[in-house]
């Protein structure tokens, strides 16, 4: 099970880009809402430094998750579906081989 050797057609690349951007927008909207709520609650110096650590963790997680290399995309899409940033229907238009890889990742235990 690997997406390393798959070929991506022009229309598949468009589907992938759209799905990826959609998921990024969803992830960012969630982070934004959480940030605003945490920012409202900041009251002490320790809260501010915790906010710095929180933003660093979130940035690193997003950087790791949103990896737009075609070789990684099936795994990335599976993770994005699992995190509920993406619905599988947004991948309609990808080849069956790619969708099967996504689904096989989704069938693995979490962790």
Contacts of residue 98, Cβ cutoff 8 Å, sequence gap at least 6: 3, 6, 12, 73, 74, 91
Give the nearest distance from C-beta 38 to a second copy in angstroms.
9
Q: What is the CA radius of gyration of the chain?
A: 17
Q: Cβ(90)–Cβ(73) under 8 Å?
A: no
C-beta of residue 79 within 8 angstroms of C-beta of residue 65 = yes
Q: Does 28 bind a second copy (CB under 8 A)?
A: yes
Q: Does 56 bind a second copy (CB under 8 A)?
A: yes
Instruction: Tell me whether residue 21 or residue 100 sits nearer to a second copy (CB atom).
Output: 21
Interface with a second copy includes 51 (CB under 8 A)?
yes
Among 70, 93, 89, 109, which Cα is nearest to 12's? 93
Candidates 39, 72, 82, 108; binder of a second copy (CB under 8 A) is: 39
Interface pick for a second copy out of 59, 68, 82, 97 (rule CB under 8 A): 59
- Write out the residues near a second copy by the rule CB under 8 A: 28, 31-32, 35-36, 39-40, 42, 45, 48-49, 51-52, 55-56, 58-59, 62
């Amino acid at each position: 099970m690997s997406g390393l050797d798959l070929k991506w057609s022009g229309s598949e690349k468009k589907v992938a880009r759209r799905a990826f951007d959609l998921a990024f927008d969803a992830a960012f909207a969630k982070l934004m809402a959480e940030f605003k709520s945490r920012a409202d609650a900041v009251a002490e110096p320790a809260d501010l430094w915790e906010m710095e650590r929180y933003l660093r963790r979130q940035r690193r997680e997003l950087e790791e998750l949103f990896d737009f290399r075609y070789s990684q995309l099936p795994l990335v899409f599976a993770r994005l579906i699992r995190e509920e940033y993406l619905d599988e229907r947004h991948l309609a238009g990808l080849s069956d081989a790619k969708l099967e890889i996504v689904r096989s990742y989704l069938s693995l235990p979490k962790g």
